[in-house]
């Protein structure tokens, strides 16, 4: 999905993310982290070309998160 998103889509995604409970926001960030680390798999889109976009999205979502002591 990241391959087809535009700036408006990312803003909508971020707004939806901000409405989630903290534990669900953590799950989203965890899954994005896993996605950014996956190796290519047969029959699946290659995640490697999109790693920078996934990392940028993760940074964008983490920007508004409170610091963990």
Burial class (CB in 10 A: 0-12, 13-18, 19+), 28: middle
Q: What is the DSSP letter of 43?
A: T
Domain of 9?
2-62
pLDDT tens column, 30-42: 998 888 888 888 8
pLDDT at 67 over 70: no
Residue 67 is assigned to a structural domain of this protein: no
Backbone phi and psi for residue 65, each to the nearest 5 degrees, phi listed first: -85, 145
Total domains present in the chain: 1
* 14-57: pLDDT as tens digits: 999 999 999 999 999 999 888 888 888 888 777 788 888 888 88
Could you tell me how far CA 24 lies from the centroid of its own chain? 13
CA distances to 8, 19, 53 from 33, rounded to whole Å, are: 23, 20, 12
User: In this structure, is residue 32 part of a structural domain?
Assistant: yes
48, part of any domain: yes
Report yes or no on 34 lying in a domain: yes
- What integer pLDDT is reported at residue 53 of this predicted model? 87
69 in a structural domain: no
């Amino acid at each position: 999905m990241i391959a087809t998103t535009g700036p408006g889509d990312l803003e909508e995604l971020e707004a939806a993310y901000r409405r989630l409970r903290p534990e669900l926001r953590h799950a989203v960030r965890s899954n994005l982290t896993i996605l950014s680390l996956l190796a290519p798999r047969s029959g699946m889109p290659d995640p490697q070309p999109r790693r920078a976009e996934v990392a940028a999205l993760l940074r964008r979502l983490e920007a508004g998160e409170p610091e963990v002591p």
